């Protein structure tokens, strides 16, 4: 009898400590993800601040729909696609460049492209652009070359060429927005503006760039969606594994919406508050996350 009692107590202790160990693992995992997200956010912020500090008003600045930004910079820039040429050491270097940022929305990738301005080369090669600072500052050039900085079709996901790899600044990113300060107020969400060497006194006084970086634990495609649930029949989760996490719609119908998960079954997430219209659908994708960072950068152009 005493042996049976001892075995029962031991079994209970194993269950209890197993649960505690599982919780500790989850806490440690979240802490590691938070550290990684902080590092990513800090690294991206550093790159953006360095770029903004090098913006040249002898070129141009363009903000498109508040979600893409392109500008010219002055300073030594080295190609990331063209190897050094001992016979022509200056071939893969330039003193001016065109830089653009945007979010590849369908894949939630924050991208940054650099094109070195090399008017003396025969044709565009890799990240070398056959254009001078004066040319890219002209409205005619920008009209004829919109794809240089506004065509998402030119952005591809890795692994591709070195140039494509260089374009990717951070994955799992959302809500990339750009605003400018005109001395009295910030621009409206989604606004478009263009400034060039032709009107250097009318440039914004400052820029504000915002975005979110996330640690996505799981991604999927809904099978059935209601106002308060997402069902994914391809999953077999532990009940309530995702309680208190957040589910975000990353593409398709309902993109951008995020809801708290109050409970889950083996293949269904229950959310609160209900989804707004348009509701997510089987054409959407979702991501579950417990860790994220909002980054806001305000930098002067004066």
One domain for residues 78 and 189:
yes
Structure confidence at residue 149 (pLDDT): 38
Decide if 255 is inside a domain.
yes
One domain for residues 194 and 62:
yes
Final residue before a domain boundary, out of 204, 239, 268: 204
Final residue before a domain boundary, out of 204, 223, 253: 204
Decide if 198 is inside a domain.
yes
Decide if 14 is inside a domain.
no
Decide if 4 is inside a domain.
no
One domain for residues 114 and 190:
yes
One domain for residues 222 and 197:
no
* CA pair distance 96, 114, nearest whole angstrom: 10
Decide if 210 is inside a domain.
no
One domain for residues 137 and 77:
yes
The number of distinct structural domains making up the chain is: 2
Give the pair of three-digit tokens for residue 66: 């508040």
CB 263 within 8 A of CB 230: no
In a structure prediction context, what are the per-residue pLDDT tens digits for the chain, which is 302 residues long? 565 655 566 565 555 545 444 344 444 445 677 788 888 889 999 999 999 999 988 888 989 888 889 899 998 888 887 878 777 777 888 899 988 888 876 567 888 888 889 888 888 887 888 888 888 887 777 666 654 434 444 544 444 444 554 577 777 788 899 999 999 999 999 998 989 888 888 999 999 999 988 877 788 999 999 999 999 999 999 999 898 889 999 888 998 899 999 999 999 999 999 999 989 999 999 999 877 788 999 999 98
Decide if 28 is inside a domain.
no
* CA pair distance 190, 283, nearest whole angstrom: 25
Structure confidence at residue 207 (pLDDT): 96
| C-alpha separations of 183 from 67, 97, 189, 202, 205 in Å | 21, 27, 17, 10, 6
Q: What is the pTM of this model?
A: 0.72
Residues whose CB is less than 8 angstroms from the CB of residue 241 and which lie 6 or more positions away in sequence, other chains included: 264
One domain for residues 199 and 277:
no
Residues whose CB is less than 8 angstroms from the CB of residue 49 and which lie 6 or more positions away in sequence, other chains included: 297, 299
One domain for residues 68 and 196:
yes
One domain for residues 269 and 181:
no
Instruction: Report helix, strand or coil for 302.
Output: coil
Full domain range(s) for residue 101: 55-204
Structure confidence at residue 254 (pLDDT): 92
Decide if 300 is inside a domain.
no
CB 285 within 8 A of CB 225: no
One domain for residues 170 and 146:
yes
Which DSSP string do the residues of 181-247 spell out, in sequence order?
A: E-SS-BPPTT--EEEETT-GGGS-SEEEEEEEEEEEEEEE--SEEETTEEE-TT--PPTTTTTT-EE
One domain for residues 61 and 196:
yes
One domain for residues 220 and 187:
no
One domain for residues 151 and 187:
yes
Decide if 20 is inside a domain.
no
């Amino acid at each position: 009898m005493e042996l049976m009692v001892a075995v029962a107590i031991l079994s209970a202790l194993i269950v209890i400590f197993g649960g505690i160990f599982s919780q500790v693992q989850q806490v440690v995992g979240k802490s590691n993800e938070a550290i990684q997200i902080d590092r990513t956010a800090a690294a991206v912020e550093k790159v953006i601040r360095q770029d903004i500090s090098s913006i040249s008003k002898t070129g141009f600045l363009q903000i498109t729909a508040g979600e893409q930004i392109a500008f010219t910079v002055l300073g030594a820039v080295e190609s990331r696609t063209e190897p050094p040429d001992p016979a022509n050491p200056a071939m893969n270097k330039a003193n001016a460049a065109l830089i653009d940022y945007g979010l590849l929305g369908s894949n939630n990738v924050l991208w940054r492209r650099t094109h070195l301005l090399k008017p003396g080369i025969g044709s565009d090669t890799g990240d070398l652009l056959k254009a001078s600072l004066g040319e890219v500052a002209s409205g005619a050039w920008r009209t004829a070359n919109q794809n240089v900085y506004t065509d998402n079709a030119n952005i591809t996901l890795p692994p591709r060429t070195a140039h494509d790899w260089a374009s990717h600044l951070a994955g799992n990113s959302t809500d990339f927005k750009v605003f400018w300060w005109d001395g009295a107020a910030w621009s409206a969400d989604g606004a478009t503006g263009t400034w060039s060497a032709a009107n250097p006194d009318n440039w914004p006084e400052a820029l504000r760039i915002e975005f979110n970086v996330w640690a996505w634990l799981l991604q999927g495609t809904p099978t059935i969606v209601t106002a308060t649930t997402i069902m994914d029949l391809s999953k077999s989760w532990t009940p309530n594994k995702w309680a208190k996490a957040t589910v975000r719609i990353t593409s398709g119908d309902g993109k951008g919406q995020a809801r708290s998960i109050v409970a889950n079954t083996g293949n269904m997430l229950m959310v609160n508050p209900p989804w707004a219209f348009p509701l997510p659908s089987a054409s959407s994708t979702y991501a579950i996350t417990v860790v994220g960072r909002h980054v806001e950068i305000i930098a002067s152009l004066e």
